[in-house]
Amino acid sequence: MEADGARRMQRFFVSDVHDASAPPDDPRAAYCVAWKINPHMQVGSTSLDRARVQHDSLVRALVASGADVRRHPFVRGCFDCVFAKDNAVLARTARGRRALLCRPRHAVRAREQAARAQSLARHGYHVDRARHHLEGGDVVRAGGALVLGHGFRSEPGAARELAAWSGLEVLALELVDAHLYHLDTALAALPDGTVLVCPDALAPASLRALHRWRRARRVIEVARDEALRFGLNLVTIGRRVILSKGAPGVERALASLGYEPLSLELDEFHRAGGSAACLVAEEHRFEAARSSDAA
């Protein structure tokens, strides 16, 4: 495992799961499933009490693993705002902290963005705005590059914009399984260059491109049933890997590579289509991040 000092350098944002300042009977002030914009969503199926407990356990695991965890406030009426990764791609560069504010596909997600931009600015980020449809769940860091998923939420053209903004190579992959609608439900990249992927989630040409990609030290294919249980929607901090319970094959693969999997109960968030990776936005270190206006 990496030294504690190195791990503490990783910054993550999470969202509050409710607005503590709101009246307790305000139906707009806490996480729930109120609409259906992906196949996992079960309207009215969540328990706020269980969601709070599960979210708290995730935050505690991040902190115990050495993460610097920051919070966004819950945005009233924007129940999916708990999935903090989708709002922006975050970078720490020689020029300071920068955020590429995403452009969500669905209006119910887009209305979170003004509040998220304000919160990021308060935390010291220069906020750029994406011109193409782009969601943070479709962006996975893979060493010195990024992987972008497109097909359900993000547009193919977002790859060029993301590359221009980040200064990094971007591999664009087409997603074809609506149940694995964001890339981070279908693919995970580990610090040693290993890529875990559900092959059923990608178009054949994209799967071939991934296997040929020089940045991928090895590609390990994961069964669709484990991806559907959000086994690939994971967070890495050094050798620690935080993921949801229910993916023993992924846990075995991680352990065989020398990682330390930590599985948590996160099923209250599965009911809205997300898990560990969706709930956190990691700040990445880029050599340079430019204004998206220059893309």
Enzyme catalytic residues: 182, 278
H helices of the chain, where? 4-7, 48-64, 107-110, 113-122, 158-166, 204-212, 224-228, 248-256, 267-270
d(CA 196, CA 194): 7
Q: Name which of 244, 245, 240, 249 is nearest 222 in CA terms.
A: 249
Is residue 168 within 8 A of residue 146, CB to CB? The reply is yes
Is residue 181 within 8 A of residue 152, CB to CB? The reply is yes
d(CA 176, CA 174): 7
Query: What CA–CA distances, in Å, run from 222 to 126, 243, 251, 254, 284?
Result: 37, 14, 11, 12, 26
List all residues 6 or more positions away from 157 whose beta carbon is below 8 Å from its beta carbon. Answer: 132
User: What DSSP string runs through 218-272?
Assistant: EEEE--HHHHHTTTT--EEETTEEEEESS-HHHHHHHHHTT-EEEEE--HHHHTT
Q: Name which of 172, 180, 192, 183 is nearest 140 in CA terms.
A: 183
d(CA 127, CA 293): 11
